[in-house]
Amino acid sequence: MVETGEASKAFMYHPDLIRHPDGCPALVLNADYTPLSYYPLSVWPWQTAIKAVFLDRVDVVDEYRREVRSPTARMRLPSVIALKQYVRPSEHPAFTRFNLFLRDRFQCQYCGTGKDLTFDHVIPRAQGGRTTWENVATACAPCNLKKGGRTPREAKMALHIAPIRPTSWHLQEHGRAFPPNYLHDSWRDWLYWDIELLA
């Protein structure tokens, strides 16, 4: 059993207590207690989280041990907050390079590598191909160069998966396969990452 003095000493040196407030972001959950976004993970800086608490826009679900103080008050920094009003996600995400890579799981759709990624027009623009979800695929630079201004059939390069216009849910599901480097312990109950569980 840990003696009281030792317990106090352990609490005194808890990592949260010496963490700079800028290193204490708050995980933001929707009103249904699911993350607003998995990738990028929905987090707010501590100042935004505290402002939302005082404006009564969120409920505090969990806290860091780190406190901030004013001349008249002290408050633990929130580590997990939940919106009081549900935010309905848009059905379709913006067509960006990042979202394209996320749709394709950060893999070249010709050879499967995750290195030196760019994007390829499946039907080349020179042949009337448009820059749309359905005609653009993630490709590594070597495959893109090899394919050149040809269609996959002409280049004899098969796509792993035909490009589609994803839904926001589709991208969020893919995002769960790529957990961020930093996860505070208090966040883990609210995040479900697609990684193998060890027995």
Which pLDDT belongs to residue 142? 98
CATH for 97-155, options being 3.40.920.10, 1.10.30.50, 1.20.1050.10, 1.10.1040.10: 1.10.30.50
Residue range 103-119: mean pLDDT, rounded: 96
Q: Is 117 helix (H, G, I), strand (E, B) or coil?
A: strand
Which pLDDT belongs to residue 163? 97
Using the predicted structure, report yes or no on whether residue 2 has a pLDDT greater than 60.
no
Q: For residues 144 and 172, which has the higher predicted lDDT (pLDDT)?
A: 144
* pLDDT tens string 22-57: 889 999 999 999 888 877 789 999 999 999 999 999
Using the predicted structure, report yes or no on whether residue 195 has a pLDDT greater than 70.
no
| Pairing mode of beta strands 117-121, 136-140 | antiparallel
Which tokens go with 42?
A: 């929905």
Residue carrying structure tokens 């103080």: 69
Q: Domain boundaries in the chain?
A: 4-88+171-190, 97-155
Using the predicted structure, report yes or no on whether residue 9 has a pLDDT greater than 90.
no
pLDDT bracket for residue 121 (50, 70, 90): very high
Using the predicted structure, report yes or no on whether residue 11 has a pLDDT greater than 50.
no
Distance, in Å, from the CA atom of 121 to the CA atom of 26, rounded to the nearest integer, reads: 39
Q: Is 161 helix (H, G, I), strand (E, B) or coil?
A: coil
Distance, in Å, from the CA atom of 148 to the CA atom of 142, rounded to the nearest integer, reads: 10
